[in-house]
Amino acid sequence: MSKLAKVLAIAEHTDALKELVSAAAQLGETTALIWAGDKSQANGADTLYYLGELSPERILEHYAPTIINLVKSEQPSLVLVEASRRGRLLAGMIAAALGTSVLADAAEIYVDGGVVTKRMVYGGAAFSTERCTAATAVVTLSPGVFEATDTGKAANLVEVPFTAPARPVKCLERRTKAGESVNLRAAKRIVAVGRGFSAPEELQLAEQLAAAIGAEVGCTRPIAEEEKWMDKARYIGVSGLMLKPDLYVGIGISGQVQHMVGVSPARTIVAINSDKNAMIFKQCDYGIVGDLKTVLPALTAKFR
């Protein structure tokens, strides 16, 4: 694959930073990272454009004019931005300043006579392929598209002076988020539950299996949004979390595309379902046809 002359990566979180820097190294001859926060985390690009520490008074959005100035002076072929809420906002501002548009939430990106991206459309039922025709492509990159590898590069540090925004966003109040705090993205193993569970008390069968194999528990959208048996932070799929675990065990889950796109990159997919014709059996590496109430205790006992 031919490479681009220069790729600039912008990350908000350290997990994404590592993936974006790997992506930049695979796509570009020279790479730079724009980062605000803990400097010691920001390795792997040829150049680190360091913005400074973030604070409630100075949030990432406030750096938009600073970043836009940098992008204009550096003229990269590609600006890769973490597909977080703030990242998407920044990407939109950068693209608008450059007179182009964002290629949003790329699930694949490559160079073929320019920057080409693929992204999911129609709730995960299809992919759209888009080619950028501008001199600088602005792309938000979905998590898990690139493996976070060590590029071995020690960045040349450039401290970037702050350009204050004309109309900064003002934070009026900060409150701790109600509900639990869980990071399924960091989990190597996921046990996911679906509507095959007929009561919240039954979820402990999945939790016991998860504990036995060192997994986190996730769910389908109806379990979080309709039944409200689990926090929204745990639901997987096109409108929830997109994951790339080593192991995904889907229990009482039919295998609808909107859920499965969130785990299809998993290394191994195991399905447990009482219906032998369930769609999930067409998408798994291992399948167990059976009632979860008998299969789960047996599996848990075996793993223990």
Ligand X SMILES: Cc1cc2nc3c(=O)[nH]c(=O)nc-3n(C[C@H](O)[C@H](O)[C@H](O)COP(=O)(O)OP(=O)(O)OC[C@H]3O[C@@H](n4cnc5c(N)ncnc54)[C@H](O)[C@@H]3O)c2cc1C
Query: Does 283 sit near ligand X (CB under 6 A)?
Result: no
* Phi and psi, residue 116, nearest 5°: -120, 135
Q: Determine which residue in the list 30, 256, 264, 283 makes contact with ligand X, applying CB under 6 A.
A: 256
Contacting ligand X within 123-182 (CB under 6 A): 123
Place of tokens 């600073």: 66
Contact between 194 and ligand X (CB under 6 A)?
Answer: yes
DSSP β-bridge partners for residue 70 = none
Q: Which of 39, 26, 31 is nearest to 79 (CA)?
A: 31
Looking at 44, 144, 218, 237, which residue binds ligand X (CB under 6 A)?
Answer: 237
The DSSP string of 56-107 is TTB-GGGGHHHHHHHHHHH--SEEEEE-SHHHHHHHHHHHHHHT--EEEEES
Q: How far apart are the first and last CA of the chain?
A: 47
Closest separation between CB of residue 180 and ligand X, Å?
A: 18
Which helix or strand (DSSP H or E) is residue 27 part of? Answer: helix 14-27
Place of tokens 């979390």: 241
Contact segment (CB under 6 A) with ligand X among 1-9, 129-137, 157-165, 267-275 equals 267-275
Give the residue, chosen from 53, 159, 246, 275, that forms a contact with ligand X under the rule CB under 6 A.
Answer: 275
Among 67, 103, 187, 278, binds ligand X (CB under 6 A): 278
**Residue 106 or 288 with smaller CB distance to ligand X:** 288
Give least dist CB 239 to ligand X, A: 4
Among 254, 264, 265, 281, binds ligand X (CB under 6 A): 254
The nearest distance, CB 146 to ligand X, in angstroms, is 22
CB of 238 to ligand X, least distance (A): 5
Neighbours of 221 (CB within 10 A): 20
Candidates 6-14, 25-33, 55-63, 288-296 — which segment interacts with ligand X by CB under 6 A? 288-296
Q: Which is nearer to ligand X, 28 or 287 (CB)?
A: 287
CA distances from 184 to 37, 83, 84, 193, 236 (A): 23, 17, 15, 14, 9
Residues paired with 235 in a beta bridge: 219
Under a CB-based contact definition with an 8 Å cutoff, are residues 33 and 105 in contact? no
Q: Which of 3, 86, 189, 195 binds ligand X (CB under 6 A)?
A: 195
Shortest Cβ 273–ligand X spacing (Å): 4
| Binding residues vs ligand X (CB under 6 A) | 123, 194-196, 220-222, 235-240, 252-254, 256, 258-259, 273-275, 278, 291-293
